[in-house]
Chains A and B, each alone.
Chain A
């Protein structure tokens, strides 16, 4: 019986590979100042090297639990971060290391949190999937699909009520477009004209299942935008300049009272969904094709074409490597959280008592 069922219906690695759209040569000519481009390069290097280190520390069993890396997806986070102000709000999913760092949160504190140390940004009480820094208006990483789109509307609503021009940007995956909260959040943002940008990081997979296999439309976010009166925006998520350009437009629009937008950035994760996943459900040629269009290589080549000396790029890489080493040292030097911490901060009074 099973021999009659086409294998590609359940072994997705046998499916037709989905290759990246080649980098648009016109992006070289975008009017993006060189200092911005240097920062975009540096940010992507930070995200890449940090995640690689997180992976290594995993292998050494220093990072416990799970973690979801953004290796291969750095351009989306870097591109948006560059278009934001420090007082803008961001929200991420459990795949949130990159978005936390991009908001300027200390890499040492983030690394320490991954290691479950008291010097982590959440004192070891949140872990990889809940990175948050209220001080940086990085309003959290959320591990239950969909909820944070609704919550992000709240910070946007707050900015609107207070009459500030802060913008909220909420990142989520392609798989998230199939849960009800996604649709509730978009309608809500549209009717209240909220200053918010919904950013779908379409990495082609919902955990272990190809997104096109379980979604009624080709572009899971962009093809739904019109249902909420929003423009259909798809961008090359492996090109930081392309992302930055779109981000500047939609963030600017929200800041000026123009209401919400949704952007679908098409990208790919180099590794598996999470720590335990080797990602074998993907066609090998597909992985190969996307690795050949790695966002950092794409960007490196562009900067060389635009005349930046290679030595400058090497120096950036090296300074980032030093920073990641320091972050690692800081994290390793941290103590395990003291036992009292388990019982603190349930309530605003600092404790966890539910009775007298």
Chain B
């Protein structure tokens, strides 16, 4: 057992897999020499060499395209898109090509690509470097979507994503990079599509993702002081989605809150609310409440940014005032 930062867990997880599979390669901007703009790939080029950890030009379509083409021939590839906002410039390759190639070729094509990208707000970077865009990917049939919240999950889900034969978008949250956690020794392989109940409770369920998970846990702690027992689920993976964990928890608690960093409209919580309305309706004792970023771009000034994304206080207040 060692304590690692979320940032170091990224390289740690990738290294575990690159040692296991000599075919696994990686490409992206500034990932080799510089160790990544977020220092998430430090040490990899030194261990695996510049042919397996390769710096590219600022050509996001070329990066994802090359990743896809190599993967089509059986080479597993990790492609880094520096900021998730930049997925917009290569969305064609992601949404129209990788996601569809197996289906539209009648099952001929396999595309084992992991697209890693830095997601989320909290860095005062403004509207083009702070978005949470997991819902952009969730809506595309053919993409798996993962967003870990702890260093151990980074390592285990990274391994699962790399070993998965389908394209996986792996969201690393910028505001979690410095957070620390215990990572068990030895090989770690987690499972996609599995949520984790991080805190048990009986009065309400809080479903959260990535950076919203520690905030949901903090809010639950405060609520406990008021005699409210909240259960906190870390979804970890949006596609596949662990609906059993959510429905099972709601069956127990009768209330569901989602905590989403993505802007309001078509955020993943809307899909979960719809599933629970369909399949868990008779277990509900009150409305499903979504706690989200408002439907606005992320502002830059610290005061404004802090106002927009769900805070511990907002989660606490919302639950406190709506639970009964």
Binding site for B on A (CB under 8 A): 89, 120-126, 130, 132-135, 139-140, 142, 144, 146-159, 161-162, 168, 180-181, 184-185, 187-188, 191, 344-348, 350, 352-356
CB under 8 Å from chain A, chain B span 77-128: 77, 92-93, 96-97, 101-110
Inside 8 A of B59's CB, which chain A residues have their CB? 184, 187-188
Determine if A154 and B61 form an interchain contact, defined as CB atoms under 8 angstroms apart. Answer: no
Which chain A residue shows the least CB distance to B54? Answer: A192
Instruction: Check A188 against B105 for contact (C-beta < 8 Å).
Output: no
Please tell me which stretch of B147-155, B237-245, B314-322 contacts chain A, meaning at least 4 of its Cβ atoms lie within 8 angstroms of it: B237-245
Q: Give Cα A7 to B265, complex, Å.
A: 47
B34 within 8 A of A: no
Bound: A135/B108 CA distance, A: 8
Also in contact, A134 and B61, with CB within 8 A (given A151-B69, A354-B239): no
Report the separation of the CA atoms of residues A121 and B97 in the bound assembly, to the nearest whole angstrom.
18
* B101 close to A140 (CB less than 8 A): yes
* Interchain CB contact (< 8 A) of B240 among A151, A156, A356: A356
Min C-beta distance of B37 to chain A, whole Å: 20
B300 to chain A, nearest CB (A): 28
Bound CA–CA A139/B75 (angstroms): 15
Contact of A154 among B56, B65, B241 (CB under 8 A): B65
Where the two chains meet, the residues of B that have a C-beta atom closer than 8 Å to any C-beta of A are: 25, 51, 56-57, 59, 61-62, 64-75, 77, 92-93, 96-97, 101-110, 141-142, 164-166, 193, 239-244, 275
Collect the chain B residues with CB atoms within 8 Å of residue A185's CB.
Answer: 61-62, 65
11 chain-A/chain-B pairs, Cβ below 8 angstroms: A122-B104, A126-B104, A130-B104, A140-B105, A149-B65, A153-B69, A158-B74, A161-B70, A161-B75, A345-B107, A355-B193
Within the complex, which residue of A147, A155, A168 is in contact with B92, where a contact is CB–CB below 8 Å? Answer: A147
* Nearest-Cβ distance from residue A135 to partner chain B, whole angstroms: 8
Residues of A within 8 A of B105 (CB): 122, 125-126, 130, 132, 134, 140
Could you tell me the distance in whole angstroms from the C-beta of B98 to the nearest C-beta in chain A?
A: 9
Neighbouring B residues of A354 by C-beta, 8 Å: 141, 239-241
Q: B109 and A134: CB pair below 8 A?
A: yes
Known: A125-B103, A144-B92, A187-B57. A155 touches B64 (CB 8 A): no
Determine how close the nearest CB of chain B comes to the CB of A145; give it in whole angstroms: 9
Partner of A345, one of B51, B57, B106: B106
In the bound complex, residues from chain A placing their C-beta under 8 Å from that of B74 are 158
A348 pairs with B70, CB closer than 8 A: no
Distance in angstroms from A199 CB to nearest chain B CB is 16
Cα of A144 to Cα of B92 in the assembled complex, Å? 8
Tell me which residues across on chain A come within 8 A of B70, comparing CB atoms.
Answer: 154-155, 157-158, 161
In the assembled complex, the Cα of A184 lies from the Cα of B92 at a distance in Å of: 14
Give 20 new A-B contacts, CB below 8 A, not counting A147-B96, A352-B141: A132-B109, A144-B96, A147-B61, A147-B97, A150-B64, A151-B65, A151-B93, A152-B65, A153-B65, A156-B69, A161-B25, A168-B69, A180-B61, A181-B62, A188-B57, A188-B62, A347-B102, A354-B141, A355-B240, A355-B275
